[in-house]
Amino acid sequence: MGKRGPKPGFNAKRRINTAWSAELAYAIGLLATDGCLASKSTLIDLTSVDREQLENFNRCVRVDFRITVKKSSTTKKALRIQFRSVLFYNFLLSIGLTPAKSKTIGAIKIPPKYFWDFLRGVYDGDGCSHSYWDPRWRSSYMFYTIFASASRTFIDWLQAEVYKRTGARGHITCGAPRGVLYQLKYAKKDSLPILHAMYYKRRVISLSRKRLKVERILSTVGEKL
């Protein structure tokens, strides 16, 4: 059998177009959370337990990168995309991503027009939603939208950017079984404008299991995306 050709609409030359778009901003959000830049080469790695996450990245950059199993000492199987690109690597450096970024990442140079696409990528990478019925008050349903990072500078920047656009302040907590993890949390009232802004139309690219969870939470309080 010969080599398989590129998927329709994908770049056969495997070059990533760095002209800003909603799709590129989302892909940068994934890299800012689940990605890694090698320190001594132009290798770029994106790791996830969700194949859909990696397929979404490929769709956004329009390159059909191979998805492989990542060897790990843990029992949970992870998948990864790895590729080398001098141009794209340098582009990532120019907007604020760095090698060994987990604790050093700070502000990312995202055009304001695409901030919510970027934030949705961050949410799909290292975010979550948490909901529960509060037993202290009858029929009181609580939920939180959470963004996590090992970098306090990055979390502070996210908080400032979200506040600038919505007036939602949120609050930051710190704690993890191992190491340090900062969480930027938004309660129900503040979550609503953020979720509607991230999922501003039905067909925006996203991780389906997280979107479905958000839809279930919002339906409980009579809201729709």
Q: Is residue 75 part of a domain?
A: no
Domain assignment of residue 149, given as a range: 122-220
Tokens of 89: 């690597």
Each residue's pLDDT tens digit, 61-78:
999 999 999 876 555 789
Q: Is residue 128 part of a domain?
A: yes
Task: Report pLDDT for 1.
Answer: 40
Output the DSSP codes for 111-157.
-GGGHHHHHHHHHHHHEEEEEEEETTSTTEEEEEEEEEES-HHHHHH
Q: Is residue 188 part of a domain?
A: yes
Q: Is residue 184 part of a domain?
A: yes
Q: Is residue 205 part of a domain?
A: yes
SS3 of residue 59 by DSSP: helix
Q: Is residue 152 part of a domain?
A: yes
Task: Report pLDDT for 2.
Answer: 46
Q: Decide if 170 contacts 185 (C-beta within 8 A).
A: yes
Q: Is residue 160 part of a domain?
A: yes
Q: Mutual orientation of helices 22-34 and 51-61 as an angle, nearest 10°?
A: 140
The CATH code of the domain that includes 148 is 3.10.28.10
Provide block-wise average pLDDT over 10 residues at a time, the chain (225 residues).
Answer: 58 85 98 94 95 98 94 74 96 94 90 98 97 80 95 96 97 78 96 98 95 96 91
Each residue's pLDDT tens digit, 98-118:
997 778 899 999 999 999 999
Task: Report pLDDT for 9.
Answer: 67
Number of domains in the chain: 1
Q: Is residue 225 part of a domain?
A: no
Give 106's contacts (C-beta < 8 A, 6+ positions apart): 96, 151, 153, 154, 157
Q: Read off the DSSP letter of residue 8.
A: T
Closest by CA to 58, choosing from 125, 3, 123, 6, is 6
